[in-house]
Amino acid sequence: MAKQNIYDNPIFFDGYKKLREKEKNANNIFEKPALFSLLPNLSGKRVLDLGCGFGEHCMYYIAQGADAVVGIDISEKMLQAAREENNHPNITYINMPMEDISQIDDKFDVAVSSLAFHYVEDFANVVKNIYEKLNDNGVLLFSQENPLCTCHSGGDRWTRDENGEKKYLNLADYGVEGERESVWFVDNVKKYHRTFSTIINTLIDTGFVIEKMIEPLPTKEILRNMPEFKDLYHKPDFLLVKVRK
């Protein structure tokens, strides 16, 4: 199965880096706080970060008391930045697709993946490999683009009023799973759509117990300062799931 490595594309990489450097991006406001709120106590734990990117989360897990963190990513450019900006003696960065984690010898107490699973074609296999890499009672916690976003397969995402305000989401092909191509900094960025039931049933069928899900929404205070985020009430951008072995 061919794996896409779009983050090594220099134009994509520069666009993505600039986006993440903006303080008020949706990751910082919604996804990261929700993800970190679901973390178990990391004191003395071994953590695997799948699709670790710039390694910022790996540093956070160390600051939360993790004994050791292994960050893996398919993109060498992302890992170069991680090694420069988020270097720590207890963090190991490995250039590897998450589909191949069975090659890692270690076992882990916690596996975390932030906004990377929607790039994976064979979700069931990745989930199975994570299950095998976790110690008993281990936690898998991940965020991904919400299935209401990943289903998009073309045309305008929104129906707008005469002033250009978003009225509602144009939803189509939710039930058609599989590859989607989109334009994000460059053409032909591949992501994979799976329905909620496929995601949840894959986790259950592998043996995980679902503990919590979050679809982050803006608080009143966020809306007061950034009213543009009211669109999240039509469609949340992210899905977060915490499961236990």
Ligand X SMILES: C[S@@+](CC[C@H](N)C(=O)[O-])C[C@H]1O[C@@H](n2cnc3c(N)ncnc32)[C@H](O)[C@@H]1O
**Given the rule CB under 6 A, which residues bind ligand X?**
3, 7, 51-54, 56-57, 72-75, 78, 97-99, 114-116, 119-120
Give every CB contact of residue 18 below 8 A, 6+ residues apart in sequence. none
Question: Which lies closer to ligand X via its Cβ, residue 100 or residue 230?
Answer: 100
Question: Which lies closer to ligand X via its Cβ, residue 148 or residue 240?
Answer: 240
Question: Which lies closer to ligand X via its Cβ, residue 28 or residue 170?
Answer: 28
Residue nearest to ligand X (CB): 53
82: number of CA atoms within 13 Å, CB side?
Answer: 28
Question: Which lies closer to ligand X via its Cβ, residue 132 or residue 165?
Answer: 132
Distances (CA, A) of 27 to 21, 31, 128, 177: 11, 5, 27, 25
Q: Cβ 72 to ligand X, closest distance in Å?
A: 6
Burial (CB count within 10 angstroms: exposed 0-12, middle 13-18, buried 19+), residue 149: buried
Q: Cβ 167 to ligand X, closest distance in Å?
A: 29
Q: Cβ 136 to ligand X, closest distance in Å?
A: 25
Helix/strand/coil for 43? coil
**DSSP assigned state of 117:** G
Q: Cβ 161 to ligand X, closest distance in Å?
A: 31
Give dist(CA 173, CA 171) in Å, integer.
7
